[in-house]
Amino acid sequence: MGRESRHKAEGALNERLATGGFRFTPQREQVYGVLLEQRDHPTAEEVFIRAKRRLPEISMATVYNCLDALVTCGLVRQVTLERGAARFCPNMREHCHFYCDRCENVFDIQWPSAAQIPLPRGFEGERYDIAIHGRCPACSAKH
């Protein structure tokens, strides 16, 4: 990421954090950067391991606090799939998640907006949280 685009991203992160009542910190920037870098829906523990590579002094408690702040500010969504550890997703557009039962990876799947999903009379959808389970293309090909 170039210096100018990095500065722009830092400014946007700072603005969203401030709007949510949080201040910008290098730890929050690092945790958010980890989520944007791979977009593979990591668990808090996976975020901690990745963040520690660039910020060796970061603690697990700090990572949890950073993730909570990012979720509260609407920069990240927490995804819970059955009884597994919570995962974190920086894609804030409406979408559902596909969980591969074989390789255990999570993928974003585009879906119609909540307003386009037919609901019974009187119900008004605003957002959704849908998880589809099965096999991803790579695992299906190994069948």
What pLDDT, in 10s, does the model give residues 41-93? 999 999 999 999 999 999 999 999 999 999 999 999 999 887 778 999 998 88
Q: Half-sphere exposure of 140 toward its Cβ, with a 13 Å CA cutoff?
A: 7
Alpha helices in 42-92 (DSSP H): 44-54, 60-72
**Side chain identity, residue 139:** C
What pLDDT, in 10s, does the model give residues 9-21? 667 788 889 888 8
Helix (H) or strand (E) holding 15: helix 3-19
Question: What is the pLDDT confidence band of residue 114, given thresholds at 50, 70 and 90?
Answer: low
Percent of the chain surpassing pLDDT 70 = 90
Report the distance separating Cα 88 and Cα 37, nearest Å. 12
| DSSP 8-state secondary structure symbol assigned to residue 73 | T
pLDDT of 4 higher than 80 = no
By CB neighbour count within 10 A (0-12 exposed, 13-18 middle, 19+ buried), where does 141 fall? exposed
**Residue 84: beta bridge partners?**
none
